[in-house]
Structure 1
Amino acid sequence: MKNFILRRLLQTVPMLLFASLIIFMLFAKTPGDFIDGNVTLTAARAAELKAIYGLDRPLLWRYLHWLGQLLRGDLGFSLQYQIPVSQLLNQYIWNSFLLASIALLFYWGIGLTAGVISAMRPGSLFDYLLSVVVFAAMSFPTFFLCLLLIKWFAVDLHWLPVGGMTNTGSDETGWAWVVQVAAHLVLPVLALVMLQAGSLTRYFRASMLDVVKMDFIRTARAKGLRERTVIFRHALRNALLPVITLLGFELPGLFSGAIITEKVFNWPGAGHIHLDSLAARDYPVLMGFTLFLAVLTILGNLLADVLYAWADPRIRVK
């Protein structure tokens, strides 16, 4: 297993180089940039700024310069915020991680539990009701669901704050700060859970239905094993295999944030600044953030392979 992981990590080097080239060329060839979008600049000042930031150099020189910065751990400089990209992401990305990780725990827990129970009782009233709830939640557009939750729980009932991470002008610390953040987390987490739990429930249900029909499950029951042992020790472990790939792709999602959800709820996360940087054509931020997500995606695939070997003893990684 150690040799497999080491070999896969070495294979990521050319993959990351290729990804960096694609990301750079994608944004470099996009018409306009932050300086072109600033209509208050004179032509002379715009040309001066392009020379300062190297935007007037050939593409190959710019790519090699950017790649050299990356090898030193420098993601570039944000033209909009006037701070290093790594510092900017460090300010916001952990807020996205907090939001996404809490939502992930809830919708994976709900999806796993509801999917297994539904698969054990196919065609029952619970199964039908769950299907209706799941498809109803999945059918809502993200922005509409977020606004609906704000309308109900913040505007009408006054139970929860409208948005943000803390109260306006708050200087609370300690447990008072934790309580404020927890209250502001409820609505965005609820929106993400409603949007994501349904698809996971369907995945788990379909996977469990396929597994419980297999011969080894009938053999386990014929041996007199308890139903709980058959389901959780034999069926569930095999049913997890198709969804392990999904878990691997959750890693970049933890840091990328839910762009629309963060924007509607004014949550200060990476998704929020991603939209702002896109509108301002702040390409250094977009390139650094996209490359960061590419690294997490490759690591997520590696994590999925390792989990495959753990979940299925028949898989032996050499």
Structure 2
Amino acid sequence: MRNFILRRLLQTLPMLLLASLLIFLLFAKTPGDFIDGNITLTAQRAAELKALYGLDRPLLTRYLHWLWQLMQGDLGYSLQYQIPVSQLLNQYIWNSFLLASVALVFYWGIALTVGVVSAMKPGSLFDHLVSVVIFAAMSFPTFFLCLLLIKWFAVDLHWLPVGGMTNIGSDEGGWAYIMQVAAHLILPVLALVMLQAGSLTRYFRASMIDVVRMDFIRTARAKGLREGRVIFKHALRNALLPIITLLGFELPGLFSGALITEKVFNWPGAGHIHIDSLAARDYPVLMGFTLFLAVLTILGNLLADVLYAWADPRIRVA
């Protein structure tokens, strides 16, 4: 197992290098930048700023300089916010991580539970009801669903706050602060869960149905094992194998998928500043955030490989 993990770690290095090159080329070759979009600057001042930030250098020189900065932990300098990109992301990325991790726990738990129960009773009333609810939730556009939740629970019922992370002007601390954050989390988490849980539930259901029809499950039942032991010890572990491969896309998918959700609910996360930076063409921020998503994707796939090897020892010799 240790050799398997070491091989996978070594394989991530060229992937990271290739990802950094593609990300740099994507934004470097995009027409215009933050300086070009500032119509208040004279041509002379714009040229001075381009020279100051190194935007007039050859493409290869700029990439090697950016790569050297990355190796030192420097993501560059935000032209819009006038602070280092690493400092800017550090201010907001943990809020995004809080939102993403809470949503991930909820919709994986819901999908696992509902998918297994639905697979145990295929064609039942519960199974049909789950299918209707899943496809109804998945059919809503993200923007419309977020606004609908705000109208119902914040505007009409006054149960939950409209947006933000805390109450306006609040300086609470301790338990009161935690309760405020929890209340503001409910609506964006609910939106993400409704959008993400449906497809994962279908995956769990289909995988469980395939496994419970296999010969080793019939043999386990014929040996007199309890149904709970058959399902959760034998069937579920094998049903999780194809689902594990999806884990590599979950974290980057949640961070990138939460861009619209964070903007609508005014949640102070990285997705919120990403949209603002996109409008301002602040490419250092965009490159830093995109690289962060690429690193999450690579680490997620590495974690999926390790979990797959743990669940299926045959993978370790591959």
Give the TM interval when normalised to the shorter protein. Answer: over 0.9
Say yes or no: does 1:132 pair with 2:132.
yes
Residue 58 of structure 2 corresponds to residue 58 of structure 1: yes
Change (3 A) 1:313 1:62: closer
Q: 1:317 to 1:306 in 2, by over 3 A?
A: farther
Matches within 5 A, 1:1-318: 1-253=1-253, 255-256=255-256, 258-317=258-317
Q: 1:25 to 1:316 in 2, by over 3 A?
A: closer
Does the 8 Å contact 2:248/2:298 carry over to 1?
no
Q: Give 2:176's aligned amino acid.
A: A
Ranges in structure 2 where 5+ consecutive residues have no aligned partner: none
Q: Is the 8 A contact 1:100 1:257 kept in 2?
A: no
C-alpha distance in 1 between matches for 2:301 and 2:258: 20
Cα distance, 1:312 vs structure 2: 2.3
> 1:16 Cα deviation (Å)?
1.4
Deviation at 1:253, TM superposition (A): 3.8
**Deviant stretches of 4+, over 3 Å:** 253-257, 313-318
Alpha-carbon distance, 1:254 to partner: 5.2
Name the TM-score, length of structure 1 as normaliser.
0.97
The alignment yields a C-alpha RMSD, in angstroms, of: 1.2
| Alpha-carbon offset, residue 268 of structure 1 | 0.5
Q: 2-side partners of 1:137 and 1:195: how far apart?
A: 6
Q: CA deviation at 1:297?
A: 1.1
Contact 1:257-1:269 at 8 Å conserved across structures: no
3-state SS of the aligned residue for 1:122?
A: coil
CA distance, structure 2, for counterparts of residue 19 and residue 314 of structure 1: 30
The question of whether the paired residues in 2 share the 8 Å contact of 1:97 and 1:254 is answered with no
Aligned length: 318
The AA in structure 1 aligned to 2:242 is: P
CA drift at 1:269: 0.5
Deviates more, 1:10-19 or 1:121-130: 10-19
SS class of match (2:56): coil
Amino acid at match of 2:156: D
- Paired residue type of 1:119: A
Give the Cα separation in 2 of the matches to 1:174 and 1:254.
28
Q: Which runs of 5+ in 1 are unaligned?
A: none
- Identity of matched residues, %: 88
